[in-house]
């Protein structure tokens, strides 16, 4: 009998520019662009395999899916699944680690360069006619910052943090790192979290969201940073107290911030940071290069293939 495979929110990873062929050959595939909470159970009721990116599979949903045997999360983080309930019900949960390392590191550096060099801002000013009206051959709309010799504070030193460090080193930056597990590494200096915030010219976040990291960027740590410093977050929105960050920017306590993630996504129109001029916000796209999404789908298919062969991989609730 063919395996029923359901993708609950395919548009998150594949809005139509990629193929699900590797999954289609593994069973009967049903793909939904998006699934509202009230339709999760009806759409997944007869599935043995479910793939989800942001659609929540909590206890309430899992208890109504007796045929379910595998949940393959189309991401690295698995907070959308109740892992304990899945384990109790004999449902294997797997994820896709490492697929977006290069893309997230690249986006982090892009945000860093936009904060300090303002390429996009100056392009917009030229297109609006300011250069044509200028009395001088050159102008700049904000202070331009040279990164050579500055200190980059990296919170979290997994694969993404290490990749960011290697790129930043090529720009001449000094690396100050806070991590739970310190490994021997050349060209970096380890520091406690509060020291890192005090000393860094730029702080970039690359740690998971846990009880201990929730709002680790709070009013106190923001107040301890240099007034000329920048904050970058391409990790998880709730790592930052966004109200405190908005206040720090509005009161010139911080030079700028760049965020690819927010605590609520999409954000409400009155979000305190959306209108803040010195806060660059991108719509959670650091992971979303085509190469990254191709790896995500290929590894997701490999997860399903391995499970069907009796050798599950990337299991997070074993």
Q: Are 262 and 242 in contact (CB under 8 A)?
A: yes
Token pair 């209108």 is found at 275
Beta bridge partners of 280: 258
Nearest alpha carbon to residue 188 among 175, 203, 178, 202:
175
The catalytic position among 89, 121, 253, 284 is 284
The catalytic position among 67, 84, 220, 265 is 265
CB atoms within 10 A of CB 111: 25
Nearest alpha carbon to residue 167 among 152, 156, 179:
152
Nearest alpha carbon to residue 316 among 96, 162, 12, 110:
96
284 catalytically annotated: yes
The catalytic position among 236, 242, 293, 295 is 236
Name the helix (H) or strand (E) containing 71.
Answer: strand 70-73
60 catalytically annotated: no
Please state, in angstroms and rounded to a whole number, the distance separating the CA atoms of residues 120 and 113: 10
Please state, in angstroms and rounded to a whole number, the distance separating the CA atoms of residues 37 and 243: 29
Please name the residues in contact with 309: beta carbons below 8 A apart, sequence gap of 6 or more: none
265 catalytically annotated: yes
CB atoms within 10 A of CB 315: 14
Tell me the residue length of the chain: 318
Q: Is 40 helix (H, G, I), strand (E, B) or coil?
A: helix
Q: Is 278 helix (H, G, I), strand (E, B) or coil?
A: coil
Residues 43, 48, 49: CA angle, nearest 5 degrees: 80
Please state, in angstroms and rounded to a whole number, the distance separating the CA atoms of residues 272 and 111: 20
What are the backbone angles phi and psi of residue 80, rounded to the nearest 5°?
-80, -10
User: Which residues are identified as catalytic?
Assistant: 236, 265, 284
């Amino acid at each position: 009998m063919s395996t029923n495979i359901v993708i609950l929110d395919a548009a998150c990873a594949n809005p139509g520019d990629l193929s699900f062929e590797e999954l289609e050959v593994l069973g009967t595939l049903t793909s939904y662009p998006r699934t509202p909470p009230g339709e999760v159970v009806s759409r997944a009721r007869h599935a043995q395999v479910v793939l989800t990116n942001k659609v929540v599979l909590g206890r309430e949903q899992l208890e109504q899916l007796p045929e379910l045997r595998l949940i393959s999360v189309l991401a690295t983080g698995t907070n959308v699944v109740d892992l304990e309930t899945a384990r109790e019900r004999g449902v294997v949960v797997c994820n896709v680690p490492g697929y977006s390392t290069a893309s997230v590191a690249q986006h982090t550096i892009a945000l860093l360069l936009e904060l300090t060099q303002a390429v996009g801002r100056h392009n917009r000013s030229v297109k609006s006619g300011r250069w044509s009206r200028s009395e001088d051959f050159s102008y700049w709309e904000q202070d331009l910052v040279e990164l050579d010799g500055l200190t980059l504070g990296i919170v979290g030193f997994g694969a993404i943090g290490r990749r960011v460090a290697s790129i930043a080193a090529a720009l001449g930056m000094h690396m100050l790192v806070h991590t739970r597990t310190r490994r021997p590494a050349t060209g970096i200096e380890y520091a406690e979290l509060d020291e890192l915030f005090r000393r860094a010219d730029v702080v970039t976040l690359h740690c998971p969201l846990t009880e201990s990291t929730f709002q680790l960027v709070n009013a106190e740590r923001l107040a301890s940073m240099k007034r000329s410093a920048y904050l970058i977050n391409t990790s998880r929105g709730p790592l930052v107290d966004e109200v405190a960050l908005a206040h720090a920017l509005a009161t010139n306590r911080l030079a700028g911030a760049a965020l690819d993630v927010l605590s609520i996504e999409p954000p409400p129109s009155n979000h305190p940071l959306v209108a803040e001029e010195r806060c660059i916000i991108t719509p959670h796209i650091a992971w979303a290069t085509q190469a990254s999404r191709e790896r995500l789908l290929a590894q997701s298919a490999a997860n399903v293939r391995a499970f069907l062969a009796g050798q599950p991989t990337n299991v997070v609730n074993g």
